[in-house]
A and B are shown apart, each in its own frame.
Chain A
Amino acid sequence: MSVQLINVSHIYAQGTPFEFAALKDIHFSIDKDEFIGIIGHTGSGKSTLIQHLNGLLSPTEGSVVVDGVKMGDSKGDKLALRRKVGLVFQYAEHQLFEETVFKDIAFGPKNLGLSEEEIENRVRDAMEVVGLDFETYKERSPFELSGGQMRRVAIAGVLSMKPEILILDEPTAGLDPYGKEDILRSVYQLHERQKTTVVLVSHNMDEVARLANRVIVMSSGEILMDAPPAEIFTQVEKLNEIGLGAPDIICLMRALKKAGMDVDDQIFRAEQAKEEILRALKRGEGAPCSKI
Chain B
Amino acid sequence: MQKAIEIKNLQYKYSRDEEEIIAIYNMSLDIYEGEFVGIIGHNGSGKSTLAKLINGIIMPTAGDIFVYGMNTKDEEKIWEIRQKAGIVFQNPDNQIVATIVEEDVAFGPENLGVEPGEIRRRVDDSLEIVRMSEFKDRKPHQLSGGQKQRIAIAGILAMEPRCIIFDEATAMLDPSGREEVLECIKQLNKENHTTVVYITHYMEEIVDADRIIVLNQGDILMQGSPKEIFARVEELQEVFLDVPNITHLAYELKKEGLAIPDGILTVDELVENLCQFN
Contacts and interface: CB of A to CB of B under 8 A. Distances in A.
A278 interface: yes
B240 interface: yes
A148 B174 CA distance: 20
A96 interface: no
Interface string B190-205: 0000000000010110
Nearest to B204: A248
B275 A41 contact: no
Given A260-B278, A273-B249, A252 B176 contact: no
Interface in A162-215: 173-179, 203, 205-206
B138 to A, nearest CB: 13
Interface stretch (B26-34, B56-64, B122-130, B250-258): B250-258
Nearest to A243: B176
A18 to B, nearest CB: 9
Given A177-B241, A274-B249, A292 B44 contact: no
A167 B241 CA distance: 27
A261 B275 contact: yes
B275 A260 contact: yes
Contacts of B173: 42, 203
Interface stretch (A56-64, A111-119, A220-228, A281-289): A281-289
A248 B174 contact: no
Nearest to B243: A177
A284 B241 CA distance: 35
Interface in B166-192: 168, 171-177
Given A43-B144, A252-B270, A174 B172 contact: yes
A256 B172 CA distance: 33
B268 A292 contact: yes
A30 interface: no
B278 A252 contact: no
Contacts of A284: 278
B134 to A, nearest CB: 18
A203 B175 contact: yes
Contacts, number: 116
A104 B246 CA distance: 40
A174 B171 contact: yes
B240 A177 contact: yes
A273 B252 CA distance: 10
Nearest to A148: B43
B260 to A, nearest CB: 11
A8 B191 CA distance: 48
Interface in A49-100: none
Contacts of A203: 173-175
Given A249-B245, A292-B275, 10 more contacts: A41-B177, A146-B44, A174-B171, A176-B41, A177-B240, A203-B173, A244-B175, A252-B246, A260-B275, A273-B249
14 contacts: A42-B146, A43-B144, A144-B17, A147-B44, A177-B42, A243-B174, A243-B176, A247-B245, A248-B244, A248-B246, A249-B249, A256-B271, A256-B274, A274-B249
